[in-house]
Homo-oligomer: A and B are copies of this chain.
Amino acid sequence: MSTSIGELVGRLGGELVGSPALPVAGIAPIDIADASQVAFLSNRKFREQARSCRASVLVMTAADSEAVGAAYTGARVLTPNPYAWFARAAQYFAACNAVPIVPGIHPTAAVDPAARVAATACIGPHVTIEAGAEVADDCVLDSGCFIGRDARIGRGTHFFARVTFHARCQIGERGIVHSGAVIGGDGFGFASDAGAWIKIPQTGRVVLGDDVQVGSNTTIDRGALADTVIEDGVKLDNQIQIAHNCHIGAHTAMAGCVGVAGSATIGKHCTFGGAAMVLGHLTIADNVHVSSGSLVSRSLHEAGQYTGFYPLAKNADWEKSAAIVRNLESMRDKVRELEKAVKEIKAKKEET
């Protein structure tokens, strides 16, 4: 499907330098775009490539446009954030190319008569929707999804195939939940009694805001008494584990394999690299950024980047450094003894 750059700029904003009638058929990276495509300069280090770019339209900042100069002869869209413009343009083309959604309930779905499913929703094969559940307008629930009793799914939310959304949980509008995610499983709560574990029933919910994305096979447990809360705009990648009673602030993003233990409270606009882990009952401030593979073992009250992983080395070198790490105390003691000895030597010297 093709459109004109004028049409795109009308939808997405930016200042067009060139003919609005110019047809554009898609987007492509700056080095391989052809004359039917829009390309993007989102990093000044690609300015040189921009000069020889063959795209019909190049999206960039005004500063980059000046630096690129006349070497690039196509049309330009000037915008302060070319990468966000690129994302929205890609959404536009993806929507044009998408398979149309046909509302209705597949005959193999098992929808309880006491569930409320909007007429504009699309319910796939083998879906189960229990009594009291609400599925709002324009929702898409792909094959094999499970929606528990009294759960609520907001307008325009899309569950990919085989999502589990347990009883009484809620998600807002425009959410995206990927396949295999499990939302609202029991939190891991037990009391110890004479060597055995007594299960503590988990009666809270999971409540997710608007514009939340949940990755494939990610799990978010329901709260014990209160709720587990995921605020608006949070983005969770695949295989993330969020334990019971966590609270994750708006627009925080977590990469794959992150784990958050119970009752952790995480601020807004945080980012977590892959496989980062957060211990339970901690508080993390807004704008904290945790590096991949790092374990957060204490509350972080100050914004900033935090890291804690053992540096990789050739195995033989690691074995040496690990052996020393194991005995760092003895090395520190030796250094202390040396300090003392040197001090004594100096003192004696002064005496003489």
Interface residues of A (CB under 8 A from B): 28-29, 81, 83-84, 86-88, 90-91, 93-94, 99, 106, 108, 110, 124-126, 128, 142-144, 146, 148-149, 160-162, 164, 166, 176, 178-180, 182, 185-186, 188, 190-193, 195-201, 203, 211, 213, 215-217, 219, 221, 225, 233, 235, 237-239, 241, 243, 251, 253, 255-257, 259, 261, 269, 273-275, 277, 279, 290-298, 304-315, 317-329, 331-332, 334-335, 338-339, 341-342, 345-346, 348-349
Contact = CB atoms under 8 A, between A and B. Distances in A.
Contacts of A348: 349
Number of identical protomers: 3
A174 B270 CA distance: 41
A312 B324 contact: no
A326 B322 CA distance: 9
A179 B128 CA distance: 14
Contacts of A277: 257, 274-275, 292-293
B295 A306 contact: no
Contact of A239 (B99, B148, B219, B319): B219
A311 B308 contact: yes
Given A110-B106, A277-B292, A161 B161 contact: no
